[in-house]
Structure 1
């Protein structure tokens, strides 16, 4: 019994070292690259923009699975939910802000032309709807957060139940594969998209279609992802990505409209290349920049469409885009390299500057209170 306890202690100690103390900082760089790719992918006419959709969303889910600590919360579902508190509060905070600012944004002419002023009833309905689906157009990119939470709950529940019922290790992946194809079937037939009530209240089933990426990330947590920096793997992945783009240009971003096997294969290969590439980013300035972007993923995700408006406003003032452009959600297309660069800069660094300003103000207030005491 004593030897058994010593062995368990060593295993647990080893697990903690592998998972936390040995965290691969290159993955923080990869996260930053993926977040920058999300912003770039939302810019109309961005060069080779379709390629970003091969990896950015699925890559986030894979990394989320890699860092998911099931063991820590396996005995308490409540503790698991409480561990999601920060990301849930951030999502709710941004949702509430954009809902409350809805009418203000209309008065400044930055909502779509079809947008109507909210009544008190509209505010309440939007707040309720936003629990599962972002109700504001400028917050559309935040769909990722409720989908991630739902996915983690699904994975946690399946993992826990299968561990109780059976020791057969093939059951969990079999369920995940089944859910993937079930989700793909729903997407392909547009059962949620074509139902207005469901569309406004139920997240589309990306929590099923991206579940395999989360699971693979979880499986690799004890092994690490540094093997992807291998030059042969990277070159092979890049060749596949380029050839697929040239010959097929599959619309990965239109869920259900591509072959599911192509989706899975191309996406995993693209993620492998990006993570492998991140291990070769050694310039300190770039490493710190991408890490900082990765650390502020939620803020950039929530605010980049709003800061696209700043870029559009600048372009409007110098007569690059036509009148009425401020009503467009997203970016104006085909306005040249400098306009694209402006959108990218505003979309990434606008939220970062706002976060930095908030941090400074918060620090000054705390220092003032401390000094006053």
Structure 2
């Protein structure tokens, strides 16, 4: 019987990067990617399956994330320049290629929470929160989705913000909020009870009236600590209202950026699925020889590689458009929809290739199969992305139900 294996068998270019997209990065960027691989291989690999099985978060890895220095640039006093979207995409790919939960933790903290403060905070607010967040001393979360509002949250946001003297009273509920059980800062989106505009607030840990309860019994992203949040007369000062978040358009600006990150995560999962299946096929013997030598197995491997390679090309071009500041909402939407569909297909093929061993955690692929289901849905379902793209390609004909 073959030894259980995973994607981190060799250093250097990944065997799944068939067209060497990583070569588009600078030498310094590739060195940083290699540092991420080393961190994941040495610190996370020995424990990730156990924490996934127990649905717990490995807090001992937070210091390692800090030491990588990937977010140091976000400190207003930092001399480092903001990384390219291409490099940030490869970081998301690399993390998801190892574990989608860790990629989600990182994306929620850096993309959604820090990204909101960067885009919507005043200069004072950036200086107040970003230095500690960039060092992972304070962890962020992002509260938008509600128990009865997912795809329709733009028009159906029920959480309210009522002005009260020198502060605001927040009432409502949020659901599926990653990192929220232990986050120090949670971005909460709420509708102004008077003007009906959507506003953003930073709610700090232990604020009275704020409760976060872990969602139990998840089958996917089990390391991610998703929470149900209740806001019951939760008072926050005016100083914690994000000064440049004044409508849902500001919320959508954040989501447009992070949606592309989810597409990169999908590529990372595809890379992992292909590599795990390839290694298994070369080691697993049936009928007296490795199954990698059978036609139907090679066909599955090539289909997985084709999905991963085509999807990597799509997100690479999207990142180039983002770096040139010429990309559009529908381009992020198409990448998220297409890459997650191909991801779901690919992990299924990998599990098929591995037969019964494909459902055993020791052989890795089962974790990716389960986690792919969450990536497929979050940051906007495939159907919603299709309507965004459909509206664009038909010259503005909206098929959204109102």
TM category (shorter chain) comes to under 0.3
Is the strand fraction higher in 1 or 2? 2
| Greater RCO, CA 8 A, separation 6+ | 1
Is the helix fraction higher in 1 or 2? 1
Normalising by structure 2, what TM-score?
0.26
Normalising by structure 1, what TM-score?
0.28
